[in-house]
Chains A and B, each alone.
Chain A
Amino acid sequence: MTQNVSVDDETARQFLEGMLRIDIFEEETKERFGEGEIPGFVHLSGGHEGSHIGMGAAMGDDDWLAVGGARLIGQYIAKGVPLPDIMAELYGRVGGSNKGHGGQMHVSDIGRKLYGHAATIGSGQNPAVGLALAEEIQETDNVAVTTIGDGGTSRGSFHTALVFAAYWDLPVVFVIENNEWAISTPAESLSPDHLSDYGIPHKMATESIDGSDVEAVYHTVSEAIERARNGGGPTVIESRVARLVPHFEGDKETYRDTDEYERLKEEKDPIENYRERLLERDIVTETGIEDMIANIETEVKEAVEFARESPEPEPEAAYDHVYRTPLYGQGENQ
């Protein structure tokens, strides 16, 4: 017996479509990386799609998302960064969100209020508190949502961010995506029953939810954002997901139990579960889904074409944007 659908049909279809967009974009990324077109290394979001899309849907355009954890591409997509901008950044081209300066781990988009500069794990939470502080000072009702993995929660900076958010009672929503693994280190060795319990001593609202259920994430994050907007202060949410992909492409995952892995793939795949749920309730049809997939495949293909055609940065671009005010000729050619 599958679960009920708690959002209207249109929203439900958008959730499915959003998750499929992440999946299809990332499958393509994996292939392009395998072919050597995308340099560096890539971390994919498999298993986190529901958490990303539910969270993104709960946010307003003017709310900040300060991303963390290693599953970043899905979050960029959930915050509305156009696929060509992301793909071109993965390729390191001028058409990329960061003009090729950053790559996969560093996609950011201030216009869309995506704070992404997150390749030191667990360093995004204090800046998120700062984002919320600035919003409060400017008397907006915008909030800051910030994500982190289970691994990152061991960082002192995560805990001091909780202290500050509580101290100033700021509109921050901490989302911990607990996929049970930090590379090869299992989260089960950490003491709290739920990682959201880290909010308890700060008297914050806390929730632990099934993060593979896009609707659960959507509702929980929406409530937390609502509370924050209305002066109710910060919330800590544990979004329990499964990491259905290697840590990064190329990780052989010898540390994982195969049976358990297979079970998770069966039970915690947010896309497959939601697809069945919507089909069963006649909210989508098989052909409807096929159309959806075909459309996304076209979008993704266009993103790849855009990235391929986008030029490499000019050599002088290495000196662009080092300083805001050009010094000694640096950055003058913008």
Chain B
Amino acid sequence: MSQQLDAETETTTQTIRESLNQALHEELERDERVLLYGEDVAEYGGLYKISEGLYEEFGEERVFDTPLAETSLGGTAVGAALAGARPVVEIMYADFLPIAGDHLINYAAKMYFNYGDETSVPMVVRSMYGTGDGHGLHHGQSPEAWFMNVPGLKVVMPSTPREYKGLLKGAIRDDDPVIFLENKMRYGESGPVPDEEYTISLCESDVKREGTDATIVAIGGMVYEALEAAERLSEQGIECEIVDPRTISPLDTGPILESVEKTNILVTAQEAPTFGGFGSEVAAQVIDDAFFYLDAPVKRVGAPFTPIPFAENLEEAYQPTADDIESAVIDAIET
């Protein structure tokens, strides 16, 4: 299942920010039904400059600012998508997604089911999460668990520049409503991105690193932490396999189960609080379908069950890191 780039592919090293900007650019160019709107996305280029230059390129009919109203961002996207547009709306911080929650959870997610025909709601809600910048209680929560319990929504959380680009394009072309979560602390992260046009389909887990001793299922920004932990563990003779689901829900469990069947150890890693989180679901899936392959209890790495504290030392302690993953793997192996 691994989607490693083959040696032939021409690539350019670029940041996640550039990759997202390209994805939006290419999709706006390719399909005139695609619209991009939200707070400060046009001339300002988005708070984190993801949409820089797009307003100038595509004009105010395609790329536009809105009044400050997340409910309307969610609700108008539902209507617009239903009637033939392909809206990409930006909800500045994922902490504000609950303001649009009714439209996402009760409408976008359920219309195809209820209408029972070819109706689809092809909308993408882009939003940012990520801690480590002292933004505190309302500007950095990881919201995937709030939404992964909603059938009908697709929740995407990419890791590398290549995936940010391919998955955003995939999400825009997808006929279901997608919540596309971007880690604001990683926009500057760079990596190889194919020069040729490509998309990545949603709902396909990817193996980011092969290994035989332990499986780490990591999402979003935690993929980087897992890679770092794996390097350190490798020096100690422990080879980790890293599975990056990329789409949180619906979850492609195949590669996770295959990996656990091989390594017999499972560690999960997420930025959100561990309790009731993505890692818990992965653990449950593995217990359901690969229980007898497990040599040790599952270890879940995540944030403590507390709001994101502002104080620098508390925030630092709050954030799960490579260290936590490293000790979780060692713990599991030593059990």
Contacts and interface: CB of A to CB of B under 8 A. Distances in A.
B137 A102 contact: yes
B317 A185 contact: no
Interface string B304-323: 11110111111001100000
Contacts of B39: 182-183, 185
B134 interface: yes
A100 B43 contact: no
A48 interface: no
Given A39-B134, A117-B137, 20 more contacts: A92-B314, A100-B314, A102-B137, A106-B137, A119-B136, A119-B137, A119-B138, A120-B96, A121-B68, A151-B68, A154-B69, A154-B72, A156-B69, A156-B71, A184-B44, A312-B314, A313-B313, A315-B317, A318-B318, A319-B306
B238 interface: no
6 contacts: A100-B311, A101-B307, A106-B138, A119-B139, A183-B40, A330-B305
A255 interface: yes
A312 to B, nearest CB: 5
Interface string A138-166: 00000000000001101111000000000
A313 B314 contact: yes
Contacts of A261: none
Interface string A18-40: 00000000000000000000011
A190 B68 CA distance: 11
A46 interface: no
A122 interface: yes
Nearest to A38: B134
A120 B69 contact: no
Q: How large is the interface on B (under 10, 10 to 19, 20 to 34, 35 or more residues)?
A: 35 or more
Contact of B68 (A93, A98, A155, A313): A155
A182 B68 contact: yes
Contact of B40 (A92, A122, A185, A313): A185
Interface of A: 39-41, 92-93, 98, 100-103, 105-106, 117, 119-123, 151-152, 154-157, 182-185, 189-190, 254-255, 312-313, 315, 317-319, 322, 330
Interface in B282-335: 304-307, 309-314, 317-318
A156 B307 CA distance: 26
A254 B136 CA distance: 27
B79 to A, nearest CB: 15
B281 interface: no
A40 B314 CA distance: 13
B136 A102 contact: yes
Given A105-B138, A190-B67, A318-B318, A313 B306 contact: no
B44 A255 contact: yes
Chain B's interface: helix, strand, loop or mixed, by majority?
loop
A279 B67 CA distance: 42
Interface string B92-111: 00011001000000000000
B135 interface: yes
Interface in B6-49: 39-40, 43-44, 47
Contacts of B56: none
A322 B307 contact: yes
Contacts of B67: 151, 154, 182, 185, 189-190
Contacts of B138: 105-106, 119-120
A103 B40 contact: no
B137 A315 contact: no
A92 B134 CA distance: 9
Contacts of B312: 39, 92, 312
Interface string B55-76: 0000000000111111110000
A184 B43 contact: yes
A40 B311 CA distance: 9
Contacts of B306: 318-319, 322
Given A119-B136, A182-B68, A317-B314, A100 B44 contact: no
A182 B41 CA distance: 12
A301 B248 CA distance: 50
B278 to A, nearest CB: 21
Contact of A93 (B44, B133, B311): B311
Nearest to A319: B306
A189 B67 CA distance: 9
Nearest to B133: A40
A86 to B, nearest CB: 13
Contacts of A317: 309, 311, 314
B44 A183 contact: yes
A40 B136 contact: yes
Given A152-B68, A155-B68, A120 B99 contact: yes
